[in-house]
Amino acid sequence: MSLVEKVEIIQFNEDEPDYLRTFDSEDRAGSWYYSPGSVGRRGHLMVRVHTADGLTGEYAYHATAGAAALQAVDVARVLVGRDWQHRERLFRTARRMARPMHNYGLSFVDNALWDLAGKAYGASLAELLGGWRDRVPAYASTVNGDRAGSLSSSEQVVEFFGQLQQAGWRGFKMHSWHEGDKWEEARNVTRMREVLGERAELMLDPACVFDSLSDAIFVGKACQEAAFRWYEDPLRPIGVGVHQHRQLRDALDIPILQTEHVPGPEAKADFLLAGGTDLLRVDAHYDLGVTGSLTTIKFAQSLGVKSRCTAPAPSTATSSPRCRAPRCTRSPTSPRTTRTPRRTSTPAATPTTGRASARTARCRSPPVTGWA
Ligand SMILES: [Mg+2]
């Protein structure tokens, strides 16, 4: 038995050059928005679990909700003095304890415990989970288009994706403009197919910009006609209504990808079984860590449903295995796949000043992420 001796909960900010969280219009309120010359400050949270025999597990990622830190503190109180290998026990206890709010903070602690296990056993997360692949497919995904010079028009979008295609990328996902103009969105979808060719894997994630089901169906039909691989989260407010999405599915033939904002395994299972989605979005950051995500993935497997994993990757304040192409720490020489990190550990950020410096190489906008 190896007991947890101490848990550190560290909040820090990371610089986001050329981006600010904006509130200058209702359409994009709260979004990170391209702002050349500005430096935004993105809040992060890091959890470090220390054991009595000298091991440390850690996990860091952005955390816009202050409640995550408060909840992580509560979970840490349960963890200290207990066997770190009893992740399921902690999972069971912490979920009920945190029932007044979503279990977001539990994810940080659970992921840190998986990191600890990887270090203790000298194995990667993939090995711990019984996996065999050391390479997985990746696609290039943008932030939302804006009107400030970064993916501000369909012409810029296809030009940018075309550059990535020249570099070897085969899959591309666009996040819509904040205005939710169905005509603009449909034109862009058609244009992406025309320019990127019939073999490109294309996806659209409006990120919940459409107020009406009819607008969402209109753009979904454009995606369908352009043979997109999936259509994701088109509806306001955050894509959690089963009835709405069952209507959307009834109107379209293209696969619908929901549940990014439907938290946790039970709610996702209900959403799927009630007919609200074709594919499941799973995220170890929002969905109760690796432990919670595995529950969803195994459930989906048993039904023959694919789970699409999105964030997280370690904070950009750490050396990141995620592919964030133009700002990537690694050259995108092998863009079709992203190597599974050998170990679960995330090199520690250095928040000694309360602020971690971003170590990623800075490249020109627009940023592309391999997540969300
Ligand atoms: Mg998404």
* Share of residues in the chain with pLDDT > 70 (%): 82
Q: Ligand 1 centre from 262 Cα, in Å?
A: 12
Q: Ligand 1 centre from 205 Cα, in Å?
A: 6
Token pair of 338 as six digits: 């992203």
Task: Return the minimum-mean-pLDDT range out of 96-110, 154-168, 233-247.
Answer: 96-110
Say yes or no to pLDDT of 347 above 60: no
Say yes or no to pLDDT of 359 above 80: no
- Asked whether the bond before 237 is cis by omega within 30 degrees of 0, the reply is yes
Which architecture does CATH list for 129-369?
Alpha-Beta Barrel (3.20)
Task: Return the minimum-mean-pLDDT range out of 17-26, 141-150, 353-362.
Answer: 353-362
The CA distance from 64 to 115, in Å, is: 22
Say yes or no to pLDDT of 135 above 90: no
Q: Ligand 1 centre from 70 Cα, in Å?
A: 26
Q: Ligand 1 centre from 233 Cα, in Å?
A: 6
More confident: 16 or 332:
16
Q: Ligand 1 centre from 104 Cα, in Å?
A: 17
Coil, strand or helix at 129: coil
Q: Ligand 1 centre from 304 Cα, in Å?
A: 21
Nearest Cα to 336, choosing from 155, 226, 199, 145? 199
**CATH number attached to the domain at 4-126:** 3.30.390.10
Nearest Cα to 157, choosing from 203, 114, 118? 203
The tens digit of pLDDT for each residue in 176-228 reads 999 999 999 999 999 999 999 999 999 999 999 999 999 999 999 999 999 99
Query: Matching CATH topology for 4-126 and 129-369?
Result: no
Say yes or no to pLDDT of 17 above 80: yes
User: Residue ranges per domain, the chain?
Assistant: 4-126, 129-369
Q: Ligand 1 centre from 16 Cα, in Å?
A: 20
The CA distance from 231 to 257, in Å, is: 6
Segment 137-148 mean pLDDT: 92
Q: Ligand 1 centre from 175 Cα, in Å?
A: 8
Q: Ligand 1 centre from 311 Cα, in Å?
A: 9
pLDDT of residue 226: 98
pLDDT of residue 268: 96
Say yes or no to pLDDT of 28 above 60: yes
Q: Ligand 1 centre from 56 Cα, in Å?
A: 32
CB atoms within 10 A of CB 157: 21
pLDDT of residue 361: 25
Q: Ligand 1 centre from 125 Cα, in Å?
A: 24
Q: Ligand 1 centre from 169 Cα, in Å?
A: 19
Q: Ligand 1 centre from 337 Cα, in Å?
A: 20
Say yes or no to pLDDT of 101 above 70: no
Say yes or no to pLDDT of 129 above 80: yes
pLDDT of residue 263: 87
pLDDT of residue 133: 83
Q: Please count the residues of the chain.
A: 372
Say yes or no to pLDDT of 323 above 90: no
Say yes or no to pLDDT of 58 above 60: yes
The tens digit of pLDDT for each residue in 152-174 reads 999 999 999 999 999 999 999 99
Res. 357 pLDDT band, cuts 50 70 90: very low
More confident: 363 or 342:
342
Q: Ligand 1 centre from 113 Cα, in Å?
A: 26
Q: Ligand 1 centre from 122 Cα, in Å?
A: 33
Question: Mean pLDDT over all residues of the chain?
Answer: 84
One-letter amino acid identity for 285? Answer: H
| Cβ(144)–Cβ(323) below 8 Å | no
* Residues having C-beta closer than 5 Å to ion ligand 1: 205, 260, 372
Segment 116-122 mean pLDDT: 96
